Structure 1
Amino acid sequence: MERLNAKEQEALGQVLEAKQLKEYLRMYSTLTQNCFKDCVQDFTTNKLSKKEGECIIKCAEKFLKHSERVGQRFAEFNAKQMSS
């Protein structure tokens, strides 16, 4: 990246930001789809039941912890590959 001029660095930064946003939105979409599918059972009311709400919270926490763990492992793997 040091070989790029300021304009190229800025353009690359914008591309990376756009990719990060896209990945964040994809992760959020997956989270909501999976947790909704697994937890929401009653469509006769516009509010979640207590059981559904608790399920959504547990599902989201589990998904986010898993995503964080995968990210950590990927970073460790990447660091190991870079040092080899």
Structure 2
Amino acid sequence: MSAQSPASMSLMEQELNQAQIREIFTSFNRSHQRCFTDCVNKFDRRSVSDSEKNCVANCVAKYMNTTQRISMRFQEHQAMITGGGAVAQGQGK
């Protein structure tokens, strides 16, 4: 396998970052759409009711908290695999 140039590595890193950002936005939009679908049921008025707003806010908060916890556990797992187990054990408890 040949060594890659710094420019090639930089381009691959940029593409990876862009893909991660797209995935974050896609996940964010999907969660909001699901919460809206689950919480907003009446369309006979012009505004969203307080209970619907609260439902969406709680739903999104739960989703974000769960996503954050999964991400933290994944990072801890990756740190343990790469030999940084001592660092990972002190976080996220």
In the superposition, the TM-score normalised over structure 1's length comes to 0.85
Amino acid at match of 2:11: A
In the superposition, the TM-score normalised over structure 2's length comes to 0.77
Describe the superposition over 1:27-69 as per-residue Cα deviations: whole angstroms up to 9, x where unpaired: 1122112101211011112321010001111111111011000
Q: Which stretch shifts more, 59-68 or 14-23?
A: 14-23
Describe the superposition over 1:9-33 as per-residue Cα deviations: whole angstroms up to 9, x where unpaired: 2201211121111211221122112
Q: What is the distance in 2 between the residues matched to 1:18 and 1:46? A: 37
Structure 2 residues not aligned, in runs of 5+: 86-93
| Aligned residue pair count | 82
Q: CA deviation at 1:80?
A: 1.2
Q: What are the equivalent positions in structure 2 for 1:3-82 lying under 5 Å apart?
A: 4-82=4-82
Q: What is the distance in 1 between the residues matched to 2:8 and 2:35? A: 40
Q: Which stretch shifts more, 8-17 or 67-76?
A: 8-17
Structure with higher helix content: 1
Structure 1 residues not aligned, in runs of 5+: none
RMSD: 1.7
